[in-house]
Amino acid sequence: IQLTQSPSSVSASVGDRITLSCRASHSVGTYLNWFQQKPDNVPKLLVYGASSLQAGVPSRFSASGSETEFTLTISNLQPEDFATYYCQQSDSPPLTFGGGTKVQIK
């Protein structure tokens, strides 16, 4: 299952609201997860099951979708949110990741 993320990069300002997209080549139901990776750090699980926030993730993050179309929204963008975000499907092996969306400071 291939995952296509768009855009590949986005420039935004602190306080902005942005939406990242992930499209699956085949239905993954709601077995879609989102990871955040900051430079020189390992990926961190943000969202699992398409819309459930991992413990400790701020409520400015929200996610939705099912089957083949998914979104991750960050409201009131904070300085610590500038990172690369990857979607990943855990519906069936091989597990696959999207190419990532880099969120940069405008």
Query: What is the widest separation between alpha-carbon atoms in the chain?
Result: 38
With contacts defined by CB under 8 A, name the span among 15-23, 35-43, 60-68, 72-80 that binds other proteins: 35-43
With contacts defined by CB under 8 A, name the span among 19-27, 57-65, 66-74, 98-106 that binds other proteins: 98-106
Among residues 33, 63, 70, 74, the one that binds other proteins under rule CB under 8 A: 33
What does the alpha-carbon distance between residue 18 and residue 15 come to, in Å, rounded to a whole number? 10
What does the alpha-carbon distance between residue 17 and residue 15 come to, in Å, rounded to a whole number? 7
Contact of 22 with 5, CB cutoff 8 Å: yes
**Residue tagged 């880099």 (tokens):** 102
Which residues between 50 and 89 bind other proteins (CB under 8 A)?
54, 84, 86, 88
What does the alpha-carbon distance between residue 91 and residue 51 come to, in Å, rounded to a whole number? 15
Number of residues that bind other proteins (CB under 8 A): 22
Q: By the criterion CB under 8 A, which residues form the site for other proteins?
A: 31, 33, 35, 42-45, 48, 54, 84, 86, 88, 90-91, 93-100
